[in-house]
């Protein structure tokens, strides 16, 4: 028994020393990883960034693009991006839009893309709507009728802007039309990803998860909401990740994700605005979307929003229709714009 005990003690000491060595190696590696600098901008992102400008909103810098387009047209279009990406989501349809509209405008919401990403900060849909209103005022377009096109997170911002417009709020936008796409308008048909649920609901895990999220995890998560035949290229995945990491954007994901809870809390306000408005409405929908699945989402939309027209794209198009099928998206949108 004594001999066995001695061997056990020796084994325990050996294992303890081994774990100490592992710890001594891992701790600095983890420390380096957690402070790894953000990736460099690709040539394409540099070009997008270089063509943009910045304005100030309540002390924060907001990045935006504003391109003059078609001569002889006075039409203005404003593009509102989704989570967790940026205005660069509109890059594939930007040039065709400039051939139709006098001004094409997009911004990075606070906490996204090239805009400031303050922390700690209570991000909200209401604040993002105020950012859009401030940009419109900054550009001298407060009295101009504008066409809104939105996606995902941007859909909910658009609904708050619609509510303010229909309620004649001070500083409101004057909306000429609204085109939505693949947004979680209805909490009852919205299925957030697992990581989103963990980040929005776990105050203990969230700071750890936001720091540990890396390109591989990000690529897998984003890839799951694209169709199997419309996956981004490696370069496009990397550009999305770079935009997220810019200004340490990964560290504010949990704060931004409170928008999912806000959608539930303010459902009556935002869905009510959608169902009661007389602003021309259209929905462009990628039916393979796992976040807003077919047919439950689109059936509920058509039931509740009877004044809206709808385009359902090809069956292999998923959550990012403007990137997965830019031609189909543009055709649907131009048909809508020319219909009224």
Are 297 and 189 contacting, i.e. CB atoms less than 8 angstroms apart?
A: yes
Task: Say whether 43 sits in a helix, a strand or coil.
Answer: helix
CA distances from 149 to 278, 318, 323 (A): 16, 18, 14
CB-neighbour burial class of residue 190 (10 A; exposed 0-12, middle 13-18, buried 19+): middle
- Residue 9 and residue 149 in one domain: no
Token look-up 């911002």 returns: 157
For the beta sheet containing 103-107, the strands, ordered from the edge strand earlier in sequence to the opposite edge, are 53-57, 60-68, 103-107, 76-80, 145-150, 174-181, 281-285, 309-312
Give me the number of domains the chain comprises. 2
- Residue 5 and residue 82 in one domain: no
CA dihedral of 6, 7, 8, 11, whole degrees rounded to 10? 130
Q: Is the pLDDT of residue 30 over 50?
A: yes
Residue pLDDT, tens place only, 178-229:
999 999 999 999 999 888 888 887 677 888 889 888 999 999 999 999 999 9
- Residue 60 and residue 11 in one domain: no
Average pLDDT of span 76-85: 98
Are 89 and 81 contacting, i.e. CB atoms less than 8 angstroms apart?
A: yes
To the nearest whole number, what is the mean pLDDT of the chain? 92
**What's this model's pTM, rounded to 2 decimal places?**
0.90
User: What confidence category does residue 15 fall into, taking pLDDT thresholds of 50, 70 and 90?
Assistant: low
Q: Which residues contact 266 (CB under 8 A, 6 or more apart)?
A: 125
- Residue 241 and residue 322 in one domain: yes
- Residue 115 and residue 155 in one domain: yes
Residue pLDDT, tens place only, 81-131:
999 999 999 999 999 999 999 999 999 999 999 999 999 999 999 999 999
- Residue 115 and residue 160 in one domain: yes
CA distances from 329 to 199, 237, 324, 325 (A): 31, 20, 9, 6
In what helix (H) or strand (E) does residue 261 lie, and over which residues does it extend?
A: helix 259-265
CA distances from 264 to 51, 187, 253 (A): 37, 6, 18
Give the C-alpha separation, 182 to 159, whole Å.
Answer: 13
- Residue 200 and residue 177 in one domain: yes
Q: Report the pLDDT value the prediction gives residue 1, as an integer from 0 to 100.
A: 45
Give the C-alpha separation, 184 to 200, whole Å.
Answer: 15
- Residue 28 and residue 126 in one domain: no
- Residue 292 and residue 266 in one domain: yes
- Residue 215 and residue 249 in one domain: yes
Tell me, what DSSP letter sits at residue 312? Answer: E
> What is the residue range of 190's domain?
43-338
Residue pLDDT, tens place only, 298-325:
999 999 999 999 999 999 999 999 999 9
Residue pLDDT, tens place only, 229-268:
999 999 999 999 999 999 999 999 999 999 999 999 999 9
User: What confidence category does residue 2 fall into, taking pLDDT thresholds of 50, 70 and 90?
Assistant: very low
Stated length of the chain: 340
Task: Say whether 119 sits in a helix, a strand or coil.
Answer: coil
Are 141 and 101 contacting, i.e. CB atoms less than 8 angstroms apart?
A: no
- Residue 21 and residue 76 in one domain: no
Token look-up 């700690």 returns: 120
CATH number at residue 283: 3.40.50.1820
Q: Is the pLDDT of residue 6 over 70?
A: no
- Residue 21 and residue 142 in one domain: no
Give the C-alpha separation, 99 to 235, whole Å.
Answer: 27
């Amino acid at each position: 028994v004594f001999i066995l005990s001695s061997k056990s003690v020796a084994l325990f000491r050996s294992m303890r020393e081994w774990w100490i060595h592992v710890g001594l190696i891992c701790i600095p590696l983890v420390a380096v990883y957690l402070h790894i600098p953000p990736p460099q901008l690709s040539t394409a992102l540099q070009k997008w960034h270089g063509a943009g400008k910045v304005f100030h909103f309540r002390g924060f810098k907001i990045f935006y693009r504003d391109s003059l387009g078609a001569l002889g047209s006075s039409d203005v279009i404003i593009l509102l991006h989704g989570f967790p990406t940026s205005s660069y989501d509109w890059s594939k349809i930007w040039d065709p839009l400039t051939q139709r509209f006098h001004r094409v405008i997009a911004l990075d919401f606070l906490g996204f893309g090239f805009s400031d990403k303050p922390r700690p900060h209570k991000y909200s849909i209401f604040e993002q709507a105020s950012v859009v209103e401030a940009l419109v005022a900054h550009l001298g377009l407060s009295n101009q009728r504008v066409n809104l096109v939105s996606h995902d997170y941007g859909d909910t911002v658009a609904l708050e802007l619609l509510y303010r417009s229909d309620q004649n709020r001070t500083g409101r936008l004057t909306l000429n039309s609204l085109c939505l796409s693949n947004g979680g308008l209805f909490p009852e048909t919205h299925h957030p990803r697992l990581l989103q649920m963990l980040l929005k609901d776990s105050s203990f895990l969230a700071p750890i998860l936001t720091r540990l999220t890396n390109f591989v995890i990000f690529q897998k998560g984003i890839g799951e909401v694209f169709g199997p035949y419309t996956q981004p290229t490696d370069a496009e995945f990397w550009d999305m990740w770079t935009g997220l990491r810019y200004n340490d954007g990964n560290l504010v994901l949990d704060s931004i994700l409170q928008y999912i809870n806000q959608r539930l809390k303010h459902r009556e306000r935002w869905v009510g605005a959608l169902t009661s408005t007389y602003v021309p409405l259209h929905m462009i929908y990628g039916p393979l979307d796992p976040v807003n699945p077919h047919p439950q989402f689109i059936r509920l939309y058509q039931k509740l929003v009877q004044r809206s027209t709808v385009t359902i794209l090809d069956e292999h198009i998923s959550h990012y229709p403007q990137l997965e099928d830019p031609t189909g998206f543009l055709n649907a949108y131009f048909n809508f714009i020319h219909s009224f």
